Amino acid sequence: MRLSKIFIPTTKEAPADAVIPSHVLMMRAGMIRPLAAGIYSFLPFGYRMIKKVCEIIRREMDAIGGQEFHLPALNPKEIWEKTGRVEAFGDILFHVKNRDYVLAPTHEEIIAEIAANHVKSYRDLPQIWYQIQTKFRNEPRPRSGVIRGRQFLMKDSYSLDRDWEGLDKSYELHAEAYRKIFSACKLKFFEVGASSGAMGGTGSQEFMVESEAGEDTCVICDNCGYAANVEIAKANSTPYKRDDNSESLKEIHTPNVKTIDELAEFLKIPTTKCAKSRVYIHNDTPILVLMLGNDEVNEEKLRIALGAGKIRPAHPEELSEITGADAGSIGPIETNLQIIADIKLKGANNMVSGANKNDYHISGIDFDRDLSNIKYYDIHYVQEGDLCVNCKSPLRVVKAIELGHIFKLGTKYSEALGAKFLDEKGEEHPIVMGSYGIGVERIIACLIEQNHDEKGIIWPKEIAPFQVHLIGVNMKNDEIRSTCEKLYFEMNESDIEVLYDDREDVSAGYKFNDADLIGIPLQVIVGEKNLAKNKVEIKHRATGNKKLVEIGLLIRTLQDELFLP
Ligand code: ATP
Ligand code: MG
């Protein structure tokens, strides 16, 4: 491809709303242009990368027996009502005004509908159906460029099985395919188990990339590979170091003391001698939750610990009726509430907490001696430096971007839409489904997040829009031009993907800056001085290393560098 012909509008600056490196560089390298908030056009250079990523995805999906579909994005609303998801998606769902249609944010419903009409017998199962298609979600905060768009490309696949064992297999096939896809895309990723939330499944896993631009927080152990979303991450908790002697309970007047920091300051004790009390409502029943010092309640862990049901923090106006005191003076002594305490408090003594009387606290609380109606669970957030549950190495807490998600859906959608099959005995069962998604644009953005410097993008050799960037330093020089034309021809003949900067009216410095910005892994520079010695220069974009090569040996050298046969 000649740079004089391909439309790559590079720029020196990026618009002010582009703050993260991938957004800035995709704009500057002429890959994308915004149309409206969260809506982007992919220009030819950007779209080349989309096609490369899709090729890898298709290869791996086909390898696990996936069959490619193309489902409509415009869906009758009725079908989404059958599964209750018009309500579940709420404002995220785009509605089409003049008819009862919605723009699909995902495709479980349509797959279940096709299965309901056309999958009849156990002989038709299992199936893996996938597509790569545009999804629409009216994200409340579209940002970070294509990482959170309101229209984006997703590879979504769906498995149809006769039973849960079948689903387990389809799920594992996907997990393995996902690892291959992200590895082939040269991404450093990690996997976390996740709670499947609104999708209504029973098992799910997310594939994440560590990035400052991420909106998820994860806990990672660099030693053994343990990783989890902070919502459910566990750490090795060290047992509480009890004082040798337990004091007796004592009520203390603590005027205007509300927070743990104020309490510790007032009594001149460490915050780890204070127990923070929070009231939650679990299925209409109030419970008292105790945390060590300033630890926050991890509500997801609390929800899991309590098993089924709904949970919410009590409203401030409910507190005094439930406990006799306002926030800041609530505590575990003289209460009838069920107490749920964080595991870090097990065995604690000489603790201070609220007295259930405004402006009073109680000291000398011995958790073993004084609190009977109490259960201990791990309900705190893991913090940087806590020790890994598996190997006790220090954990890191990092921001991360979700690249892909695999869910065991079960029968929610097949039951709502009547997707059933007959078994060998003629008995009818709902099809057991799985659902699996990958964000195509996110792969590209994450690749840039992980591979760039102050000059621009640095595509890995294995996945780049082009492999070689051929630069004629001065195209008005006949010898340079004819050498470049010859090399360009030879590279194309040898199946090397080459972008050829044949522009006449652009200075050498400008060409070099553009080359570093758009980041093709190998640059071949044809200049007057080296040409006189019958040589050209190869520059590695990643390291900046340069070497001179005999023109006659160039193609072989490039093939070796690019691991081509
Ligand atoms: P997030 O938590 O980031 O909103 P999600 O849980 O809503 O993601 P899924 O419904 O599981 O995402 O969609 C599958 C994949 O589609 C995600 O893993 C992600 O790579 C991609 N994706 C989801 N929402 C967007 C978006 N708004 N823009 C770009 N890609 C997206
Ligand atoms: Mg989302």
pLDDT, tens digit, 9 for 90 and up, residues 169-178: 999 999 999 9
Residues 256 and 427: beta-carbon distance below 8 Å: no
Query: Is residue 446 packed enough to be buried (19+ CB in 10 Å), middle (13-18) or exposed (0-12)?
Result: buried
List, edge to edge, every strand of the sheet that includes 360-365. 250-253, 360-365, 351-354
- For residue 305, pLDDT beyond 60: yes
Tell which residue, 362, 347, 332, 342, has the closest CA to residue 242: 347
What pLDDT does residue 237 have? 82
Residue 15, SS3 per DSSP:
coil
Q: Give 465 Cα–ligand 2 centroid separation in angstroms.
A: 28
Find the 402 Cα to ligand 1 centroid distance in Å.
7
Verify cis geometry, omega within 30 degrees of 0, for the bond prior to 126: yes
495/238 Cα distance (integer angstroms): 59
- CA-closest residue to ligand 1 atom 30: 439
> Ligand 1: which of 40, 402, 442 to mutate, judged by most atoms within 8 Å of the beta carbon?
402
Which of 85, 107, 134, 154 best tests ligand 1's pocket when mutated (most atoms within 8 Å of CB)? 154
pLDDT classification of 194: cutoffs 50, 70, 90: low
- Residue to substitute in 405, 440, 449 for testing ligand 1 pocket (most ligand atoms within 8 angstroms of CB): 405
Looking at 55-69, 213-227, 423-437, which range is the least confident one?
Answer: 213-227
Which segments of 468-540 are extended strands (E)?
468-472, 498-501, 522-526, 535-540
- Amino acid 202: pLDDT: 54
Q: Which residues line ligand 1 (CB under 6 A)?
A: 106, 137, 139, 148-149, 152, 154, 402-405, 437-439, 441-442
Whole-number Å distance between alpha carbons of 137 and 198: 15
Q: What percent of the chain has pLDDT over 90?
A: 93
Query: Between β-strands 338-342 and 285-292, what pairing exists: parallel, antiparallel or unpaired?
Result: parallel
Looking at all shown ligands, the one closest to residue 178's CA atom is 1
The Cα-based distances of 417 to 28, 112, 118, 412 in angstroms read: 46, 6, 13, 9
Predicted local confidence at residue 198, as pLDDT = 40
CA 350 – CA 363 distance, rounded (Å): 7
Beta bridge partners of 537: 525, 548
Task: Give CA–CA dist 122/162, Å, rounded.
Answer: 7
User: Residue 88 to residues 74, 92, 200, 424, 542: CA-CA distances in angstroms?
Assistant: 18, 9, 11, 36, 46
Determine contact, residues 402/114, Cβ cutoff 8 Å: no
Domains of the chain (ranges plus CATH)? 21-233+397-448 (3.30.930.10), 250-377 (3.90.960.10), 457-561 (3.40.50.800)
pLDDT in tens, 35-64: 999 999 999 999 999 999 999 999 999 999
Residue of the nearest CA to atom 23 in ligand 1?
439
Contacts of 541 (CB under 8 A, 6+ apart): 458, 459, 515, 516, 519, 520, 521, 522, 523
- At 308, is the pLDDT very low, low, confident or very high (cuts 50, 70, 90)? confident
Q: Hey, whose CA ends up nearest to atom 3 of ligand 1?
A: 402
| Atom 31 of ligand 1, nearest CA residue | 439
Instruction: Specify the DSSP element, H or E, that contains 318.
Output: helix 316-323
Pocket test for ligand 1, best of 92, 107, 436, 442 (most atoms within 8 A of CB): 442
Distance 153 CA to ligand 1 centre (A): 10
- Torsions phi, psi for 151 (to 5 deg): -135, 125
**pLDDT tens string 481-513:** 999 999 999 999 999 999 999 999 999 999 999
Nearest-angstrom CA–CA distance, 350 and 367: 9
Distance in Å, CA 179 to ligand 2 centroid: 21
Mean residue pLDDT across the chain: 95
Mean pLDDT of 97-123: 96
pLDDT at 334: 87
Backbone φ, ψ for residue 560 (5° rounding) = -65, -45
Distance between first and last Cα of the chain: 22
Q: Which two tokens stand for residue 211?
A: 């990035």
10 Å Cβ neighbour count for 465?
26
Q: Residue 66 — very low, low, confident or very high, per pLDDT cuts 50/70/90?
A: very high
Whole-angstrom distance, CA of residue 339 vs CA of residue 290: 7
State the amino acid at position 236 in one-letter form: N
Q: CA 537 to CA 554: how far, in whole Å?
A: 9
Distance, in Å, from the CA atom of 191 to the CA atom of 273, rounded to the nearest integer, reads: 37
Closest CA to ligand 1's atom 1: 402
Give tens-digit pLDDT for 19-36.
Answer: 999 999 999 999 999 999
> Which atom number of ligand 1 is nearest to the Cα of residue 154?
16
Strand partners, 522: 468, 540
- Among protein residues, the one whose CA lies closest to atom 11 of ligand 1: 405
Residue 557 pLDDT > 70: yes
**Residues contacting 487, CB < 8 A, separation 6+:** 470, 524, 526, 536, 551, 554
Max intra-chain CA distance, the chain: 96
pLDDT of residue 196: 42
Of all atoms in ligand 1, which is nearest to the CA of residue 401? 3
Burial group, residue 64, by CB count within 10 angstroms (0-12, 13-18, 19+): middle
Please check the confidence at residue 277 and state whether its pLDDT lies above 90. Answer: yes
pLDDT of 164 over the 80 cut: yes
- Nearest residue (by CA) to ligand 1, atom 18, is 404
Ligand 1: residue whose CA is nearest its atom 22: 439
Backbone angles phi, psi at 464, to 5 degrees: -145, 155
